[in-house]
């Protein structure tokens, strides 16, 4: 038997070796995944004061964000503390086919209730912005705004603007052809007076709605869902003004009597006082004005691939899979090739009601 001197490998040396090996392993994994290079300096302090980041846009919970310029499409990406998931979302955003139009990306990082932001998320966003072929900026809210502020306040469209905004959270992957699809559907349905928004969601429609819609490339719904939503600018501006005027009225609740499912979710959210269902306010506004949202049905005619894919990372609404951001590296869930059938729109387009039944049709002459 060989006798080992206990002093040959003191604990400090072993610890140093382990740390060094972990550092090398992180760099190796990062390189394999095409990830943002590992930056050791960002781990020195994981949180910093939000007000230490200069603000380019003057906005708050009581003031929407109005940008200095106008573009054709502004992509709003909302995040808080999910850097790996954010990186995947931005990888897809950066592949957008812009069709020669002016597109910009605005990344908004929420501030925590204690007035600090997640440094790794910020550094990831900045690094992705530098390598993006699409002009990209990173913003940190100077104070906590929560999911309500992130969604409702980050885009203030100008009066009579033609700019549109695609709003996504940091666990939504989008197809490169989102803008191509949006321009086509916007042009075809431009005479529909009560069209309020465009949604990218064709994921988990439900069997009842799937049977009704069949292989039609698009359909309308009375309920606009926020898994990648593009509101019409005049509608969004009016919604913001209405919301600001009523949000502090504690006697008002945005319940939609005909939509039992989402109203039930919102009541539950209210009881928990977790402020996680901003979408119910936009939902109620659509109900109040009889507005419709149009959805793609690309997944049904695109071999199971659609315009978006929600990875449902852990957060306010899902417990999620903590490795979900690694499950779609090869874009298995979204279309990466364009086909004319995706915009072969019908003369009569079906409307799906709150309970997934057929509500009616929209006729385009």
* pLDDT above 90 (res 121): yes
Domains and CATH numbers, the chain: 41-170 (3.40.50), 177-365 (no CATH)
Mean pLDDT of 149-161: 97
Q: What is the pLDDT of residues 7-51, one digit of tens each?
A: 433 444 444 444 455 444 544 444 444 444 434 344 447 999 999
Q: What is the pLDDT of residue 29?
A: 42
Q: What is the pLDDT of residue 315?
A: 56
Mean pLDDT of 138-149: 96
Q: What is the pLDDT of residue 79?
A: 97
Query: Could you tell me the pLDDT band of residue 224, with boundaries at 50, 70 and 90?
Result: confident
Q: What is the pLDDT of residue 267?
A: 81
**Euclidean distance between CA atoms 295 and 290, whole angstroms:** 16
Look at 268 and 10; give whichever has higher pLDDT: 268
* pLDDT above 50 (res 313): yes
Q: What is the pLDDT of residue 8?
A: 35
Contacts of 3 (CB under 8 A, 6+ apart): none
Contact 137, 154 (CB under 8 A): no
Contact 202, 302 (CB under 8 A): no
Q: What is the pLDDT of residue 144?
A: 96
133-147, 220-234, 300-314 — which one is most confidently predicted on average?
Answer: 133-147
Q: What is the pLDDT of residue 4?
A: 38
Q: What is the pLDDT of residue 316?
A: 53
Give the sign of the dihedral formed by CA 185, CA 187, CA 189, CA 194: positive
Q: What is the pTM of this model?
A: 0.84
Q: What is the pLDDT of residue 90?
A: 97
Q: What is the pLDDT of residue 314?
A: 58
Q: What is the pLDDT of residue 19?
A: 41
Q: What is the pLDDT of residue 320?
A: 58
Q: What is the pLDDT of residue 361?
A: 98
Q: What average pLDDT does the chain have? A: 85
**Euclidean distance between CA atoms 4 and 2, whole angstroms:** 6
Mean pLDDT of 63-88: 96
Q: What is the pLDDT of residue 28?
A: 46
Mean pLDDT of 55-64: 94
* pLDDT above 60 (res 287): yes
Look at 55 and 161; give whichever has higher pLDDT: 161
Contact 17, 95 (CB under 8 A): no
Relative to beta strand 358-363, strand 348-352 is antiparallel
Q: What is the pLDDT of residue 154?
A: 97
Q: What is the pLDDT of residue 273?
A: 60
- The residues pairing with 343 across neighbouring beta strands, listed in sequence order, are none
Mean pLDDT of 66-90: 96
Relative to beta strand 116-118, strand 47-49 is antiparallel
Look at 140 and 264; give whichever has higher pLDDT: 140
Mean pLDDT of 97-108: 97
Q: What is the pLDDT of residue 40?
A: 38
Pair of tokens at residue 112 = 């925590």
Look at 32 and 183; give whichever has higher pLDDT: 183
Task: Write a three-state SS string for the chain.
Answer: CCCCCCCCCCHHHHHHHHHHHHHHHHHHHHHHCCCCCCCHHHHCCCEEEHHHCCCCCCCECCECCCCCCCCCEEEEEEECCCHHHHHHHHHHHCCCCCCCCCEEEEEEECCCCCCEEEHHHHHHHHHHHHHCCCCEEEEECCCCCHHHHHHHHCCCCCCCCCCEEEEEECCEEECCCHHHHHHHHHHHCCCCCCEEEEECCCCCCCHHHHHHHCCCCEEEECCCCCCCEEECHHHHHHHHHHHHHHCCCCCCCCCCCCCHHHHHHHHHHHHHCCCCCCHHHHHHHHHHHCCEEEEECHHHHCCCCECEEECCCCCCCCCCCCCHHHCCCCCCCECCCCCHHHHCCCCEEEEECCCCCEEEEEECC
């Amino acid at each position: 038997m060989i006798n080992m001197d206990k002093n040959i490998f003191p604990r400090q040396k072993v610890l140093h070796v382990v740390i060094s090996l972990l550092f090398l392993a992180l760099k190796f994994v990062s390189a394999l995944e095409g990830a943002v290079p590992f930056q050791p300096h960002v781990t020195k302090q994981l949180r910093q004061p939000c007000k230490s980041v200069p603000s380019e846009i003057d906005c708050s919970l009581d003031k929407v964000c109005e940008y200095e310029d106008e573009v054709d499409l502004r992509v709003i990406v909302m995040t808080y503390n999910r850097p790996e998931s954010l990186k995947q979302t931005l990888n897809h955003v950066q592949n957008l086919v812009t069709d020669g139009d002016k597109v910009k990306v605005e990344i908004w990082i929420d501030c925590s209730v204690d007035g600090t932001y997640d440094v790794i998320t910020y550094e990831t966003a900045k690094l992705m912005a530098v390598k993006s072929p699409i002009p990209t900026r990173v913003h940190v809210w100077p104070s906590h705004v929560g999911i309500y502020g992130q969604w409702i306040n980050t885009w203030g469209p100008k009066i009579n603007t033609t700019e549109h905004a695609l709003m996504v959270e940091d666990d939504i992957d989008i197809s490169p052809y989102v803008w191509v699809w949006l321009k086509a559907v916007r042009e075809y349905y431009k005479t529909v007076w009560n069209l309020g928004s465009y949604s990218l969601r064709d994921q988990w429609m439900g069997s009842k709605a799937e049977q009704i819609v069949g292989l039609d490339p698009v359909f309308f719904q009375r309920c606009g869902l926020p898994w990648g939503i593009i509101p019409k600018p005049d509608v969004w501006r009016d919604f913001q003004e209405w919301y600001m005027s009523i949000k502090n009225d504690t006697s008002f609740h945005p319940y939609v009597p005909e939509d039992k499912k989402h109203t039930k979710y919102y009541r539950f959210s209210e009881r928990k006082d977790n402020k996680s269902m901003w979408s119910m306010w936009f939902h109620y506004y659509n109900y109040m004005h009889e507005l419709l949202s149009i959805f793609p049905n690309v997944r049904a005619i695109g071999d199971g691939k659609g315009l978006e894919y929600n990875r449902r990372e852990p957060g306010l609404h899902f417990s999620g899979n903590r490795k979900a951001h690694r499950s779609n590296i090869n874009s298995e869930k979204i279309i990466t090739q364009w086909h004319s059938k995706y915009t072969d729109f019908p003369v009569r387009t079906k409307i799906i009601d709150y309970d997934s039944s057929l509500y009616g049709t929209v006729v385009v002459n």
